[in-house]
Chains A and B, each alone.
Chain A
Amino acid sequence: MAEDLQATRPVEVDESPQRRRVWRGPWRSVILPLVVVGAIVGAIWWLDYRPDAGSSPYDPRYGPAEMPAALVSPGMTVEAKAGSLAPDFLLATLDGGELRLSDLRGKGVIVNFWASWCAPCRKEMPQFVAAYDQYRGEGLEVVAVNVQESPSIIRPFVDDFGMKFPVVLDKRSSVSDSYRLSGLPMTYFIDREGVIRSVFQGPFLERLQGTQVQGAIEEDELTRRIQEILG
């Protein structure tokens, strides 16, 4: 220590270093502090939005699927709109199996997006249950795509309402995205060739039902659309 002190020369005491500004070039005086601030903000942001350990892993196989080439008719587009082929998907079913939409080719298919918390979905579901019972023999299939709910929440609802058709789980809402879902419920009517014949947003309600919450729809609207896809 003594050697150090001895080796130094007397210097002026900097009594107020905090009052001095030192320009050390644009990189060290401007860019570096901004990078540091950016790093702090970035770290905070990452801590805020880092992947959560609590999230359960998704099976990457489930979601939108590539339509088998053999099922794409020449000149047809695959798009979630009337007149196009319905985008294919593979999803887990509530009973533990899997369902691929393209496997239903040859049947008229109703793809209904729903959730148990959605009151209009609850109101319209008996219509689909009844329609399925009535038209199953003619080749109607109903696929109820549940959006982002837990099987334990869905199951009592499915049992109570007697939903005998497949209920598939769109946990990541990736299929909902591919079908441009803008609200619940939303229903796609797909004919035996896999072409979307019509899209209906909102609940199908029984005759007179729903007249106080939305404009009344025609009594046989659901029937008409089913017959359209069954040919």
Chain B
Amino acid sequence: MAEESALRGAGWWRLARELDPIRATWRLFTNVRWAIGIIAFLALASLVGVVVPQVPAAVRGDAVAEGRWLDVQEGRFGFLTGGMNSLGLFDVFHVAWFMYALGLLVVSVAVCTAGRLPPIWRSVNRPAKRVNDAYFQSARYRLEYGTPAEGSRLESVLRRRLYAVERYEEGDTVYLFADRFQLAQLATFASHLALIVILAAALMSRFSGFSNGMMIAEGESGPVFPLKNPRQMQVQLLDAVGRFTPDGQPLEYSSRLAIYDGGEEVKRCTSTVNTPCSYRGYRFHQAAYFGFGADVQVRNLASGNVVFRETMALASTLPSPHVIVRDGAGKVLLDGTLVLTDILSDDQFTYYGRLVTLPGGRTLTIGARKAAAQEEWRLAAFEPGERGDAVRLVLSEGESAAAGGLAVEFADLQAVPAEFIPDFPLPPDSATGGGSQSVLLEMSNVVYGTETTSEGTAVRPAADSGPPELTIVGVRPQALTLRPGEKAEVGGYEYSFVGQREFAGIQVKRDRSDYLVWLGVGLLLAGLLATFWVPRRRLWAKISPARTQLAGHAGHLVNFEKEMAEMARDEGGTVGEQQGQENDE
């Protein structure tokens, strides 16, 4: 009765153990099918992440921009868009459920590995060195052959084959246990650890990865992080270099950088597209190059102080015609590319023009115009006044014509970098009484790079010679044209064109997960190589004077029956009928 009660109690205990939530969870997480299920889920989610458009990094986190981006997707996915967005299908690799699945897989692999570690470790560290005689009849790989008359040499054969051999004698029977590549059985843990490391890398990339793009002008600096970040660094662009072929094709971009940390300069380095600067785990990649910046300074002459100092990117272009004007005798009166400083437009045309005074005093209004519906630019040359033979010409590119005793040629149309700059300081003694307004900056004779770079240029220079020239339209009635280093006083202000400057786009990235990925891949390769190339072999031998019995165990990739036959042959044994039989379990 007491025994029956005890048995009943044991049953309850077993049931309680089965219902133990921790153990039940452990059983789930150590189930290979569960891990495969998670991997399949992640693979499917990744497929969705590849097939379905993903929200661009530049848009992510900006509610307004994301909304606009989703509006575009609605044209493709229709009524499904809202639901897909709620499920995070437009940002699969950043959505919480994907991260949870990755985390579950990490836990599963870890628990699974821990659950299998003891038996494998025991198999490696304390292998079954002696087996029952019945095993020689049932082993997966087994061989029986006549022991050589001169005595068995199997032990030395095994040692030659790099087996670790142990022996035991019982009467006239010798037992051997041989083990080769013993530690290879642990390779499976390297593979599992690799999986954990790679998944950790993915999580790390997700949570601690950093990327920030900066566009910096030469001589200027910018913060790497948002304001007040305690890890703040500054990047100063000492020199942006663009090398080009003579026909303007880019060869190489690079940037000479100074990096500041904690308010001190900590590194100077050159960053190229393929070889970024590195500091504190952050990489400073050369991401972009822009060659047409104008460094302008405005000084208040009364105080002597600078009131404006900016390097402005002239990211637009304006037409700049190359015009040649000759007199009746063929003498060249004008041969140059004209920066057009006046801009007018109506419903039909946009005019860019300027007055040109020729040697001898005649004045021409030369402009370029393009009808709204046309692509072709026309050059218009008009001579003010009521002269009957006044110049009135409209020319296409490459055309020339004569009028009023002058021959005008529209050689070609070029483009000069230009930009409207809002809030440019106006001179205090001007009609506006100071303040600021939008002005037009045009830079001609532009060149790429510094003296250390090539002289190639993607935008052809406006003239064959001479330094860059900056034309400022708007600070006084006439346009103001300055060469590098030149200054002009206008109404109490001194305007200086410090020089042409380049910009570099620097992408600051930090993602140490790449090292982890390499580590993980290395571990995975090591695990796979050990598993497939040097799988563990265990061999038990029972050697009696008449016959030798071998039983072996090795991975599926090992042709162990062949190896056993070779061993028997090496020691001169007579192989019987049972050689190489395999026991299909």
Q: Which A positions have Cβ atoms within 8 angstroms of B?
A: 1-2, 4-6, 8-15, 17-24, 26, 28-30, 32-34, 36-37, 40-41, 44-45, 47-49, 52, 54-58, 115-117, 119, 122-123, 126, 129-130, 133, 147-153, 157, 160-162, 169, 171-173, 176-177, 181, 183-184, 205-213
Q: Is the CB of A181 within 8 A of B200?
A: no
B175 beta carbon closer than 8 Å to chain A: yes
Q: Restricting to B111-150, which residues have a CB under 8 Å from any CB of A?
A: 111-116, 118-120, 122-123, 128-133, 135, 139-140
B 504-522 binary contact with A (CB < 8 Å = 1; else 0): 0000000010001000000
Q: Can you give 9 contacting A-B residue pairs, CB < 8 Å?
A: A2-B169, A34-B111, A37-B110, A52-B280, A117-B222, A123-B308, A150-B265, A153-B234, A208-B436
Q: Is the CB of A21 within 8 A of B116?
A: yes
Q: Is the CB of A22 within 8 A of B130?
A: no
Query: When chains A and B are docked, how far (Å) is the Cα of A47 from the Cα of B281?
Result: 10
Q: Is the CB of B306 within 8 A of A40?
A: no
Query: When chains A and B are docked, how far (Å) is the Cα of A22 from the Cα of B116?
Result: 6
Query: When chains A and B are docked, how far (Å) is the Cα of A128 from the Cα of B120?
Result: 75
B167 beta carbon closer than 8 Å to chain A: yes
Query: When chains A and B are docked, how far (Å) is the Cα of A201 from the Cα of B347?
Result: 43
Q: For the side of the interface on B, what is the size category? A: 35 or more
Q: Is the CB of A148 within 8 A of B223?
A: yes
When the two chains form the complex, which single residue of B119, B303, B308 contacts A130, counting CB atoms closer than 8 Å? B303
B349 beta carbon closer than 8 Å to chain A: no
Q: Is the CB of B107 within 8 A of A34?
A: yes
CB-CB under 8 A from B196, the residues of chain A are 37, 40
A15-B140, A117-B221, A207-B434 given; name 7 further pairs at CB < 8 Å: A4-B166, A29-B115, A36-B110, A40-B200, A45-B208, A54-B279, A56-B264
Q: Is the CB of B223 within 8 A of A210?
A: no
B399 beta carbon closer than 8 Å to chain A: no
Q: A29-B26, A130-B303 are in contact. Are A176 and B228 (CB under 8 A)?
A: yes
Nearest 5 A/B pairs, CB to CB: A208-B435, A162-B305, A33-B114, A17-B119, A209-B436
Which stretch from B50-58, B255-263, B406-414 is at the chain A interface? B255-263
CB-CB under 8 A from A149, the residues of chain B are 221, 234, 260, 263
Q: Is the CB of A54 within 8 A of B309?
A: no
Q: A162-B303, A181-B228, A184-B227 are in contact. Are A212 and B422 (CB under 8 A)?
A: yes
A186 nearest CB across to chain B (Å): 10
A202 nearest CB across to chain B (Å): 13
**Prevailing SS type, chain B contact patch:** mixed
Q: Is the CB of B264 within 8 A of A18?
A: no
Q: A5-B130, A5-B168 are in contact. Are A150 and B260 (CB under 8 A)?
A: yes
B245 beta carbon closer than 8 Å to chain A: no
Q: Is the CB of A18 within 8 A of B188?
A: yes
Q: Is the CB of A213 within 8 A of B423?
A: yes
B84 beta carbon closer than 8 Å to chain A: no
Q: Is the CB of A210 within 8 A of B423?
A: yes
CB-CB under 8 A from B262, the residues of chain A are 55-58, 171
CB-CB under 8 A from B116, the residues of chain A are 17-22
B 293-307 binary contact with A (CB < 8 Å = 1; else 0): 000010010011111
When the two chains form the complex, which single residue of B107, B128, B221, B432 contacts A153, counting CB atoms closer than 8 Å? B221
B204 beta carbon closer than 8 Å to chain A: yes
Query: When chains A and B are docked, how far (Å) is the Cα of A159 from the Cα of B119?
Result: 74
Specify the chain A residue showing the minimal Cβ separation from B197. Answer: A40
CB-CB under 8 A from A40, the residues of chain B are 196-197, 200
CB-CB under 8 A from A173, the residues of chain B are 227-230, 232
Specify the chain A residue showing the minimal Cβ separation from B130. Answer: A10
CB-CB under 8 A from A12, the residues of chain B are 128, 131-132
When the two chains form the complex, which single residue of A14, A147, A148, A207 contacts B435, counting CB atoms closer than 8 Å? A207
B18 nearest CB across to chain A (Å): 11
CB-CB under 8 A from A13, the residues of chain B are 128, 131, 135, 139, 538, 540, 553
Q: Is the CB of B422 within 8 A of A119?
A: no
CB-CB under 8 A from B132, the residues of chain A are 10, 12
Query: When chains A and B are docked, how far (Å) is the Cα of A106 from the Cα of B266?
Result: 40
B 526-548 binary contact with A (CB < 8 Å = 1; else 0): 00000000000010100000000
Query: When chains A and B are docked, how far (Å) is the Cα of A147 from the Cα of B223?
Result: 10
Query: When chains A and B are docked, how far (Å) is the Cα of A147 from the Cα of B169?
Result: 83
Q: A34-B111, A208-B436 are in contact. Are A41 and B200 (CB under 8 A)?
A: yes
Q: Is the CB of A133 within 8 A of B303?
A: yes
CB-CB under 8 A from A133, the residues of chain B are 303
Query: When chains A and B are docked, how far (Å) is the Cα of A149 from the Cα of B223?
Result: 8
B 250-285 binary contact with A (CB < 8 Å = 1; else 0): 000000000011111111000000000001110000
